[in-house]
Structure 1
Amino acid sequence: MRKPALLACLSLAALITTPAFAQDIKLASNVPYTEDNEISDAIKAECSLGNKLADSIKRHDGSVVLVDGVPDTASGRVLQLEIVDSVNMGNAFMGRQTYTKIKGSLWQDGARVAGFKARRNSMGGAFAGFKGACSVLGRTVEKLGEDVGGWLKSPKDGAALGD
């Protein structure tokens, strides 16, 4: 009699841990910049990197739910993110140095599960000389969103994502 009960429990456990039953991950719809950042005011005012990053992560991981404000890590699953740095230097003739750096951690009911740091670089791609700074920086946060979406499927503490 014990075997069928044990199998039922194992089957239920397997069902609950499948992606269809996975708990949503709350993420701020506008990822904030770190408090002591040195990002130019023009980038912060014009590029909407926080919104673009959150949207990209949501597209790459369907369990992410965007919420207004910074979600409380005390209950449920929460992805806490910050944009650490974002730089656009140079031009089409001399070459560009463009990158965005982020850091984040996944929380479950008030306990930190894992964290990461990530950076993506871009030279602008084809026709870079005709693209503005926000367009090129947008490419970096799109790729970071893809990186974070992949990390959420199997979070590893101390991971270094991106370039």
Structure 2
Amino acid sequence: MRAACLAIGIAVLGSSGCEKSASSTPGQARGYTIEPADYGENANAPEKTRARCKFEMRVSQELAAAIEARGTGDGADKRIALTVVRMDGAEPAWEGVMNVLVEGELVAHGDRAAGFSVRGSSRPGVGGGQSGVCAGLDDIAEQMAEAIVPWLADPKDGAELDAREPE
């Protein structure tokens, strides 16, 4: 009995942290095609953070999940492309606020319809180190998705969306 409880506890702990997965994957959500985000040339995202946290996938997954849960309008023949432009404070030794800037583009029927930028911020998660960085980036991805969904209902080109936590 005790060994079974220990095994379950280890399995639960092993499945938490950076390996968290969203309920939806990039691809399709209410007709929208959501591409996995990519990193801009000067994104400043450490390689270890990119490899371990997979923020580019998380932000796309969270957007797909938010569109499925709260999206409005017809996403047929519309594509959303995201680029991580800047990532500050995502180093494991950093103890301050993390800031991320993502730019997005909505393409409708093959033509660029509108673009936006969204800023997100978070403090590192409990435990610090790389796991804390991943937890903080997960929070940012979710906040960004929640800020983007209302924009999709009435996309204005050049919109600056703010998903930052209040300080």
Classify the TM-score, shorter chain: 0.5 to 0.7
Partner of 2:135 in structure 1? 135
Indicate if the aligned counterparts of 2:59 and 2:141 stay in contact, CA closer than 8 A: yes
1:76 Cα deviation after fit: 2.3
Partner of 2:120 in structure 1? 120
1:46 Cα deviation after fit: 0.8
Taking the aligned partners of 2:53 and 2:92, their CA distance within structure 1 comes to 17
1:136 Cα deviation after fit: 0.8
Q: Is the radius of gyration larger for structure 1 or structure 2?
A: 1
Greater share of strand: 1
Indicate if the aligned counterparts of 1:89 and 1:96 stay in contact, CA closer than 8 A: no
Q: Matched residue of 1:55: which SS?
A: helix
Which residue of 4, 28, 31 maps to 1:24?
A: 31
Partner of 2:158 in structure 1? 158
In structure 2, relative to structure 1, the CA distance for the partners of 1:136 and 1:111 (3 Å cut) is: same
Matches within 5 A, 1:68-83: 76-83=77-84
In structure 2, relative to structure 1, the CA distance for the partners of 1:83 and 1:54 (3 Å cut) is: same
Gaps of 5+ in 2: 1-29, 70-75
User: TM-score, normalized by length of structure 1?
Assistant: 0.67
Partner of 2:50 in structure 1? 44
Moved over 3 A (4+): 89-92, 127-131
Indicate if the aligned counterparts of 2:95 and 2:124 stay in contact, CA closer than 8 A: no
Residue identity opposite 1:155 in structure 2: P
Residue identity opposite 1:26 in structure 2: T
CA deviation string 1:9-50 (max 9, x = no partner): xxxxxxxxxxxxxx711111x311113432111111111111
Q: Matched residue of 2:68: which SS?
A: coil
Taking the aligned partners of 1:47 and 1:27, their CA distance within structure 2 comes to 19
Taking the aligned partners of 1:154 and 1:124, their CA distance within structure 2 comes to 33
Worse-superposed segment, 34-43 or 145-154: 34-43
In structure 2, relative to structure 1, the CA distance for the partners of 1:95 and 1:41 (3 Å cut) is: closer
Indicate if the aligned counterparts of 1:26 and 1:79 stay in contact, CA closer than 8 A: yes
Residue identity opposite 2:78 in structure 1: R
User: TM-score, normalized by length of structure 2?
Assistant: 0.65
User: How many residues align structurally?
Assistant: 127
Q: Give the aligned CA root-mean-square deviation in angstroms.
A: 2.7
